[in-house]
Structure formats: C-alpha cells, structure tokens
Amino acid sequence: MVQEVSIEYLKDQIRNVPDFPKHGIQFKDITTVLKQAELFSYIVDATVEIYKDKNISKLVCIEARGFILGGAIAARLGAGFVPIRKPGKLPAEVLRKEYSLEYGTDTLEIHKDAIETGDTLLLHDDLLATGGTAHAATELLHAFKPKKIYINFFCELDFLKGREMLANYDISSLIHF
Ligand code: AMP
C-alpha cells in the first residue's frame, strides 16, 4: 500500500540551490526530502509499486546519490544491489566507460563480475539531467547482455531532454521539473 503524499508537496520539499556546484546550475537538493521519514518511505513505496511485477534481479545504482534510494528500493524488490562508481573506487576488476560532459569528460566503472546474462536490471539514479551519465551507464550494462534494462529516476529535468538519449528504454521518474 502506497501511503498518500501529493507529488506537488514532494516536489515543493526539494530544495533549489542556485549556482551549485557552479554558476548557472540550479541544484536540486534532495536531502530536504530524504530527512523526512514519511517522504523517504513514500518514494521507495511508489517506486516499488512500478517495478514489483517486473522480476528485477538487480538494482544498478549510480554513485553517489543513486545509492541512497536505490539501496532501499533493492531491498524492497528482493533484488541485489550493484554500484556504478567513479574511477578508482571499485577494488576488483572493472569495465570502464568514459563519456563527454559539457566541458571535458567523466568516467564510470562497474565490477566485471557484477551482472549475469539472465539478469533483469533496474538502473537507478536520483536525477536525470542531460542523460549523459545514465547513457554511459547503459553502455556499461550492455556489455553483460542482460535480459532487460529498466531505468528509474527520482527526479527528471524535462527541459534538458535527457530522455532523448535513452529513447530505447522503459523509463520512469516520480518527479518532473
Ligand atoms: P546528466 O548526466 O546531465 O543527466 O546528470 C545526471 C547526474 O548529475 C546525476 O547523477 C545527478 O545527481 C547530477 N545532476 C545533474 N544536474 C543536477 C541538478 N540540477 N541537481 C542535482 N543533481 C544534478
């Protein structure tokens, strides 16, 4: 049972921080939501409701804010948890994907033994902006030839059209800006 919380209320509880981490970015700070017990469990419940019949075997979550809700969602779905991390953080052998940012590049890594061919995956992050990060993550996941990849975000910045980079996937976001 998903307890009733209005999406508008939830949206209002996200703090906007102008010019963080750099000038011109309006940062969506979700810590103001996460600290409220009823909102935290509402987000987890609402996400579990979407995926509970999809036979998700692993939640693949992107460092670092993707880990927070992702861990709770994984436990509730009865799925395993797989981290995708920034370079040099994972201790064993990794697959690596470099991708372009507005200025420069960034890199994501996943353990080589993290996923099996039969897995049905739910890729999760806190927020979809331009889609570059999630797209790079899907490229890492394809190397494992999983059965299916679903994608979920807590928030999506619709005006940045990140979804267009992820056009071939089944995507859901709880909050849209
Ligand atoms: P992108 O690759 O542009 O879709 O950016 C997504 C990643 O950057 C996610 O891991 C987000 O946590 C973070 N991010 C990008 N823009 C914002 C924003 N305005 N507020 C909060 N996090 C953001």
- Average confidence (pLDDT) per 10 residues, the chain, 177 residues: 84 98 95 98 98 98 98 98 98 97 91 98 98 98 98 98 96 98
Every domain of the chain and the residues it spans: 54-176
- Confidence (pLDDT) at 103: 78
At residue 101, the 3 state secondary structure works out as coil
**Which of 127, 138, 160, 165 for mutating ligand 1's site (highest number of atoms within 8 Å of CB)?**
127
Percentage with pLDDT > 70 across the chain? 98
Alpha-carbon span 13 to 20, nearest angstrom = 18
- Enumerate residues lining ligand 1, CB below 6 A: 25-28, 62, 65, 125-134, 162
* Residues ≥6 apart with Cβ < 8 Å to 169: 138, 149, 150, 151
8 A C-beta contact, residue 82 and residue 110: yes
**Which of 85, 97, 133, 138 for mutating ligand 1's site (highest number of atoms within 8 Å of CB)?**
133
pTM metric for this prediction: 0.97
CA atoms within 13 A on the CB side of 127: 17
9's tokens: 């209320």
Alpha-carbon span 150 to 28, nearest angstrom = 23
DSSP-assigned letter for residue 15: E
Q: How far is CA 166 from CA 3, 87, 133, in A?
A: 30, 23, 11
- Confidence (pLDDT) at 4: 81
- Confidence (pLDDT) at 41: 97
- Confidence (pLDDT) at 136: 98
Alpha-carbon span 37 to 100, nearest angstrom = 37
Fold classification of 54-176 is Rossmann fold (3.40.50)
Q: What is the DSSP string of 115-150?
A: --TT-EEEEEEEEESSSHHHHHHHHHHHTT--SEEE
